Amino acid sequence: MLEIHDDEAAFARNLAAALQGADAPTAIVASNSHQASLVIGLIDEIGLSIPDDVSMLTFDDPEWARLVRPELSVIRQPTAALAQMAWDLLTRRMAKRSRPVESAALEATIEFRASVGPPKRKR
Instruction: Dump pLDDT digits (tens) for 46-62.
Output: 999 999 999 999 998 99
C-beta separation of 43 from 67 below 8 A: no
Whether pLDDT at 6 is above 80: no
What dihedral angle (degrees, nearest 10) is formed by the CA atoms of 17, 18, 22, 25?
A: -150
Q: What is the pLDDT of residues 62-108, one digit of tens each?
A: 999 999 999 999 999 999 999 999 999 999 989 988 888 888 899 99
Distance CA 56, CA 49 (A): 10
- Domain spans of the chain, in order of start: 8-77
Give the ranges where 1-123 is alpha helix by DSSP (H).
8-20, 33-45, 79-95
Per-residue pLDDT of 27-49, as tens digits, reads 999 999 999 999 999 999 999 99
State CA 107 to chain mean position distance: 16
Task: Out of 3.40.50.2000, 3.40.50.2300, 3.40.50.720, 1.10.10.10, select the CATH number for domain 8-77.
Answer: 3.40.50.2300
Say whether pLDDT at 5 is over 80: no
